[in-house]
Amino acid sequence: MELWYIQDYINEYKMGLKVKETIFQGKTRFQEIAILDTYLYGRTLLLDGIVQLSEKDEFMYHEMLVHVPMFSHPHPEKVLIIGGGDGGASREVLKHPVKEVTLVDIDEGVIEVCQKYFPQLGKWDDARLTVLIEDARQYVFSTSEVFDVIIMDSTDPLPRGVAEPLFTPEFFAQAFRCLSPQGIMVSQMEPPFFDVDRVQKLWKGFGAFPIVNLYWGLVPTYPGGIWSYVIASKSPDPREQKRLPSFPTRYYSPAIHQAAFVLPPFLEEMLKKQKEDEGSFS
Ligand code: SAM
């Protein structure tokens, strides 16, 4: 008997993965967690039924989410990761010569399960890493810390989900407050060629930033296989790479850094219209 996992992303779209076995299933205070061993992508983490990462393609997402902002900043020393409870984003940040990384995730259950079943993901014993278990909305609204780079690696802003309050103009304005003068923020931003009005709505939230760009990359296990990221900067141009990688990467490269900002005309059009409506951004 064949076992398939079918992910409902929106009513009109489902994605299926053939499953060898269910490795783990459980419920935390906030989310349902499942780990499946799939034929195509190996171990795959689901939160509330949505694929968060797979062994096979997580590097594509984590390298693009982290190295584009990190190499766009001239000398990032203090980094904030919002969400990121699986450890992948912090693993990539810690490859840079940073001084401090603060990871704020609402759900320690996710961290515990990922430490056990995805040991290759996190670098949890790195002395530069501080893990805080709290709602990132509360943290960002109340902290007096100032960061060079803020990386939003939360779950999708699904209705009534724990991440929904993070994708608001008020939250992004508070994140702006927590950034140093050359600060850069990046957020995972949903499938652009799939959910254009949601990208437009989220895009509007970055109004406090003088420079806002969209870049994209491949993530086969995400809806549509292509993912977008919004990068918002107080001053450095995020399309300019300031330093070269001193460690091996498998998806990110200087050429990919440039190419990721080249958008197809229809997406350019969509963002141009958004800027006209908003009357700002570059
Ligand atoms: N790469 C995935 C993606 O793009 O959807 C995200 C992976 S990571 C596991 C998502 C994390 O966001 C989870 O650990 C979840 O607990 C965390 N999260 C969701 N809402 C949050 C909130 N309000 N504050 C802090 N962490 C939150």
pLDDT, tens digit, 9 for 90 and up, residues 157-216? 777 788 888 888 999 999 999 999 999 999 988 777 666 777 777 777 898 899 999 999
Q: What superfamily does domain 58-278 belong to in CATH?
A: Vaccinia Virus protein VP39 (3.40.50.150)
Q: Which of 50, 55, 155 to mutate to test the pocket of ligand 1 (most atoms within 8 A of CB)?
A: 155
Active-site hit among 153, 197, 237, 277: 153
Average pLDDT estimate for 88-94: 98
Predicted TM-score of the model (pTM): 0.95
End-to-end CA distance of the chain: 54
What pLDDT is attached to residue 167? Answer: 86
Give yes or no for residue 275 having a pLDDT over 80.
Answer: no
Domains 3-54 and 58-278 share a fold: no
What pLDDT is attached to residue 279? Answer: 55
What pLDDT is attached to residue 202? Answer: 78
Q: Is the CB of 136 under 6 A from ligand 1?
A: yes
What pLDDT is attached to residue 193? Answer: 66
Question: What's the burial of 211, exposed, middle or buried (CB within 10 Å: 0-12/13-18/19+)?
Answer: middle
Euclidean distance between CA atoms 69 and 257, whole angstroms: 10
What is the tens place of the pLDDT at every residue in 227-274?
Answer: 999 999 999 999 999 999 999 999 999 999 999 999 989 888 877 776
Give yes or no for residue 281 having a pLDDT over 70.
Answer: no
Q: Is the CB of 84 under 6 A from ligand 1?
A: yes
User: Which residue owns the Cα nearest ligand 1 atom 21?
Assistant: 163
Q: What b/e string do you get for 14-36 counting C-beta neighbours within 10 Å, with b at 16 or more? A: ebebebeeebeeeebebbebbbb
Is the domain spanning 3-54 CATH 2.30.140.10? The answer is: yes
